[in-house]
Structure 1
Amino acid sequence: MARFYQSQPPSAPPAPEGYGWGEPYPAAPQTNYGGQTNYGYPSFPPGTPPNVVQSFQMADRDRSGFIDERELQQALSNGYQRFSLRTIRLLMFLFKNPMDPLRIGPKEFTELWSCLGQWRGVFERFDRDRSGKIDATELKDALYSLGYALPQSVLQVLLSRYENASSRRVELNFDSFVECGMVVKGMTDKFKEKDPRYTGSATISYDAFMSMIIPFIVQYDD
């Protein structure tokens, strides 16, 4: 059986220059960001860059120390660009706070921000014509570089989400690229839990299969 991923678990995407969105940042004093902030927030990880803290604080208007999907959309827009709610909901699912699945705190937000910065580095590396979009071939190459060897049939199903009647060529902006990449990564990670030896096959029950797939279908919908 063909493997949809390489025999070894893919490493994390290489980080771009700087941090997060590819912009350099001054080192944050750990004493300021490693514990409670002036606003009474739960702890940010030690060394969290000031721009990440600021983006979170600006979105958290009620000073609860947590942000919901609308606030997350605003926070990420402050950092780089506006993400669709569909992508935001997927990110909320993948980086959810175990104590509050409808909101994320500073720790989850910092991890998410860093992850998006890594995906941005991959996107820019494979956007060879610097158009701000990548086509099907570039998407396949980008995913393969991360260890996801998707067959053409699976790739077409993934891209069908973004087909436009006015154009026969599917191109993805960064928002859609993140959505595709995180769906592939998330579902592959779930499958690997059932295939710890990385054989490309696993025996699972119907209930387990549905439990793996349904959350992605629901979160991935409009």
Structure 2
Amino acid sequence: MTGNKEWEESQLRTYTNWVNYNLGEDQQIKDLLNDLSESDILISLMEKLSGKKAYPHKKCMTKSRIVKLDNVGKAVKFMKEEKLNTSVSAENIVDGNRTYILGMVWTMILKYKINANQQKGVDTKEELVENNALLDWVNSFGLNISNFSSDWKDGVALVKLTEAVSGGQIKFEQFSGLDSIQMVIDCQKLAYQQFKIPILMDVKDLICERPDPKSIMTYVSVYKERYEQLLFEKEQREREEAERRQREEQKRIAREEQEIKQREEAERLAKEEQERLAKEEQERLAKEEQERLAKEEAERLAKEEAERLAKEEQERKQREEQERLKQQQPTGQQLTFFAIKAADAWILQNIQAAYAQDPTIQFQWWYPLVQNLSANDFRELQDWFKKIDKDKSGILELDELLKARWPKDMKMNNDTIKRLMLIFDADNSGSIGFFEFIALYNWVKLCVATFKHFDIDQSGSLDITELQAALPQLGFNLNKQSCDALIRANKNLIGKKKLNQVQFICATSYLAQCRTIYQLTFDTHMDQLDPVEFDKFINLVLGLI
């Protein structure tokens, strides 16, 4: 290999491998002359070599010359800021100019790997290139090399350098009997497998009459880099091992000393105080046993008394509730909120005042719920509203509703409260006013009354058949398949064969939310709802789940 063309071909292969060695696995190139202008490969290479962040960039595969010139231009600008001694332009790189690209990569190798300050010079006629610092490093292993070309042509120098860098783990003698080509191939393979030294040069570029000096210097610079890394790793391992052994020895000595002291102390105490300690232990155990028995007896009596009182209280409440239900239990027709009785006159005046402030409230499907309230209930809810309204803003936000103490028979989970907020927030303000709160409260109260009405056996749950019978009282006519889908649509109901009251409120609030969506979608007022079409809509929605 004596001509410029052969050396350039060697450099192309070697530099391509060198670039891939310094790039990440996701940015490997195949063609040095064409691939450096793709995406952000060149600027990523400069960042890796310099250890600095360049201009903002991202991967962008494109065939546009303008885009490529822009990306490569940023890399060229970064090279100038790094004082990289190269005259290459973005056009040279995008056009795949061999001379400029090879010169640019060689300049990178000199600056960042071989150290340009030690360079003697580069002859453009491709005569021998030498570097004293790199030669001194090679010869520090006793190789007696005088150049980076002809002294390497038989592969012996590379194998001996590999032996030195590996610390003798790869020996020159193990390749005896092989020709130069096979010796280099086997040596390169072992160096990569055992020490991650990349194979930068093809064997045909090394085993020739006059190898390219730049290619060999590049290859040797990687050997030097890996050698320093291996030395550092070895020193670190030795340091960590020494520290580990020192810690273990200190722990062992401390443990032995502690064991000796503990053994001596135990023997002394056992000899001097065995009888006294035994007597005290017996007295202590007897006292503890007596106290334990007395405590257990007191707890048993207190528990029995509490259970008796709780049972009596429960039986009293059950009798009162049964009596109340007998007197107030509504029929199926009375439960439906579309048949709510007229409000007291005083309440009506307050509602009319609310209309004047927000006329849209009367067109909400849940508007009848606002009227289902006595004057006494109105004042109680007003007081409760003020207690919940912690910031005294006159409106309730989701956080205040979640923290509110609801009556025991109106217990709800957080998902239900969030859903109710979406339903009764008429103006989508993220909060509800007092009359929206009245509708929310009456809706939950209506759901509770419906649940108790159809919980005939007072088991505290409804099965699917009872659920299908109860929902029409709230304005929802579902078939059996839709009832099953309703259960699946609410995560709190998955796997349940029956619904308790909390789950029933959650499920019916899901249907109420569908009713709100239906009104918003088709712009229907409460009195314009077509029950048949709405039933089709709700069953269709649940059928898609």
TM-score grouping bracket, smaller chain normalisation: 0.5 to 0.7
Q: 1:65 is paired with a residue of what secondary structure?
A: coil
Which residue number corresponds to residue 384 of structure 2?
Answer: 55
| Contact 1:60–1:67, Cα closer than 8 Å, also in 2 | yes
Instruction: Write the mapping of 1:6-155 to structure 2, written as runs, cut at 5 A.
Output: 11-12=336-337, 47=375, 49-75=378-404, 77-78=406-407, 80-98=409-427, 100=429, 102-155=430-483
**Structure 1 counterpart SS, 2:431:** coil
Contact 1:28 1:50 in 2 (8 A): no
Q: CA deviation at 1:92?
A: 0.4
Alpha-carbon shift at residue 104 of structure 1 (Å) = 1.0
Structure 2 CA distance for partners of 1:63 and 1:76, relative to 1, 3 Å? same
Which has more radius of gyration? 2
State the number of aligned residues.
177
Q: Which residue number corresponds to residue 198 of structure 1?
A: 532
Q: Which residue of 2 aligns with 1:180?
A: 507
Rounded to whole Å, the distance in 2 between the matches of 1:79 and 1:50 is 20
- 1:163 corresponds in structure 2 to 494
- CA distance in structure 1 between the aligned counterparts of 2:476 and 2:346, rounded to whole angstroms: 37
SS in 2 for 1:129: coil
8 Å contact 1:74–1:82 — kept in the other structure? Answer: no
Contact preservation (8 Å) 1:65, 1:105: yes
Give the Cα–Cα distance (whole angstroms) in 1 for the partners of residues 515 and 474 of structure 2.
12
The one-letter code of the counterpart of 1:141 is A
Compute the RMSD of aligned alpha carbons. Answer: 4.2
Cα deviation for residue 115 of structure 1 reads 1.8
CA contact (8 A) 2:395 2:431 kept: yes
8 A Cα contact 2:388 2:401, kept in partner:
yes
Question: Which amino acid in 2 is paired with 1:12?
Answer: F
**CA offsets per residue over residues 47-101 of structure 1, 9 Å max, x none?**
462221122111111111111223113436157443211101110010004162x
Q: Which has the higher helix share?
A: 2
Deviation at 1:150, TM superposition (A): 1.5
Q: 1:78 to 1:56 in 2, by over 3 A?
A: farther
Letter in 2 for 1:88: I
Instruction: Evaluate the alpha carbon distance shift between residue 196 and residue 140 of structure 1 in structure 2; reply closer, same or farther with a 3 A threshold.
Output: closer
Q: CA deviation at 1:111?
A: 1.3
Q: Distance in 2 between matches of 1:79 and 1:55?
A: 15
The answer to whether the Cα contact below 8 Å between 2:409 and 2:448 also exists between their aligned partners in 1 is no
The amino acid across from 2:472 in the alignment is Y
The higher relative CO (CA closer than 8 Å, separation ≥ 6) is in: 1
TM-score, structure 1 normalization: 0.62
How far apart in 2 are the matches of 1:170 and 1:71?
33
Q: Within 2, Cα distance between the matches of 1:28 and 1:77? A: 28
1:196 Cα deviation after fit: 4.4
Change (3 A) 1:13 1:137: farther
Range 84-93 or range 177-186, more displaced: 177-186
Identity %: 22
Change (3 A) 1:13 1:127: farther
Tell me if structure 2 keeps the 8 A contact 1:14–1:122: no
Instruction: Render the CA deviation track for 1:92-122: whole Å, top value 9, x for unaligned.
Output: 010004162x111111101111222222211
Structure 2 unmatched runs, 5+: 1-334, 359-369, 523-528
Given residue 126 of structure 1, which amino acid in structure 2 is its aligned partner?
F
Gaps of at least 5 residues in structure 1 are 1-9, 16-26, 37-41, 203-208, 218-222
Contact 2:460 2:501 in 1 (8 A): yes
1:151-170 deviation digits (Å, cap 9, x = unpaired): 22221121134133xxxx52
Deviation at 1:146, TM superposition (A): 4.0
Alignment correspondent of 2:86:
none
